[in-house]
Chains A and B, each alone.
Chain A
């Protein structure tokens, strides 16, 4: 089975902190994605990566950055956390081509 693992299920951080969310997949997928889920807004794409060291902005990249140094690992970085970044963060991976994505279990981040 494909496994996408996010490092934390729940996180509480203070405003202004630098926050790292880690995601690892074990299926040698080319593509990796970071989404956030908010009530009434669905899943919105923050960043995605189609290869090591390659990254592209999604629909809501402001306040975030990403890193992909190895194929299996995709990190989301909140440079200076703010309360409006309180959300459920979901990592996903997929093969290239026309295919669906497999999701991790999510990280519930609360910024206080």
Chain B
């Protein structure tokens, strides 16, 4: 049962335009959400996160939006650059025991930014 879903396996956008990557989740107990970026043959790197008490978090060209009622979050990249081409993973944090969190990942979306 996939608790975190990224329904678009791939996305292609033109350089300078907006990229919107979407993510849906099913577990209402998730309280922290993250986006990771992954290049081939490398480990994922943290991009941006958002707590469930917020509905928006912005960091430079990257903005994450959270709609808790819809159990949906999205990552906006504006403007998109060719170096943004990578696989983007959405992740949700679920508490285990006391303070420990484990991250549940989606299946990823391959973003291709065309020059």
Contacts A40-B9, A56-B96, A98-B31 known; A106 to B103 CB distance under 8 Å?
no
Count the A residues whose beta carbon is within 8 Å of the partner chain — how many? 31
Task: Report A37-48 CB contacts with B as 1/0, cut-off 8 Å.
Answer: 000111111001
Chain B, residue nearest A58 (CB): B102
Asked if A21 is at the interface of the complex by the 8 Å CB criterion, the answer is no
Among A31, A45, A104, the residue within 8 A (CB) of B43 is A104
Task: Give the docked Cα–Cα distance between A90 and B96 (Å).
Answer: 20
**CB atoms of B44 and A42 under 8 A apart:** no
A contact residues around B108 at 8 Å (CB): 42-43
11 CB contacts below 8 A, A to B, read: A42-B6, A42-B89, A42-B106, A42-B108, A50-B97, A92-B43, A94-B101, A100-B103, A104-B43, A106-B41, A106-B43
- Main SS of the interface on chain B? strand
Going nearest first, the 4 A-B pairs with the smallest beta carbon separation are A103-B43, A42-B107, A43-B105, A50-B100
**CB atoms of B43 and A100 under 8 A apart:** no
Task: Give the docked Cα–Cα distance between A48 and B93 (Å).
Answer: 14
B contact residues around A50 at 8 Å (CB): 96-97, 100
**CB atoms of A105 and B99 under 8 A apart:** no
Asked if A22 is at the interface of the complex by the 8 Å CB criterion, the answer is no
A contact residues around B106 at 8 Å (CB): 42
Known contacts A4-B43, A98-B93, A101-B46; 4 additional CB pairs below 8 A are A42-B106, A45-B105, A48-B102, A100-B34
**CB atoms of B101 and A31 under 8 A apart:** yes
Task: Report A1-37 CB contacts with B as 1/0, cut-off 8 Å.
Answer: 0001000010000000000000000000011010100
Task: Give the docked Cα–Cα distance between A58 and B105 (Å).
Answer: 12
Task: Report A83-107 CB contacts with B as 1/0, cut-off 8 Å.
Answer: 0000000101010111111111110
**CB atoms of B41 and A35 under 8 A apart:** no
Asked if B104 is at the interface of the complex by the 8 Å CB criterion, the answer is yes
Chain B, residue nearest A42 (CB): B107
**CB atoms of B44 and A103 under 8 A apart:** yes
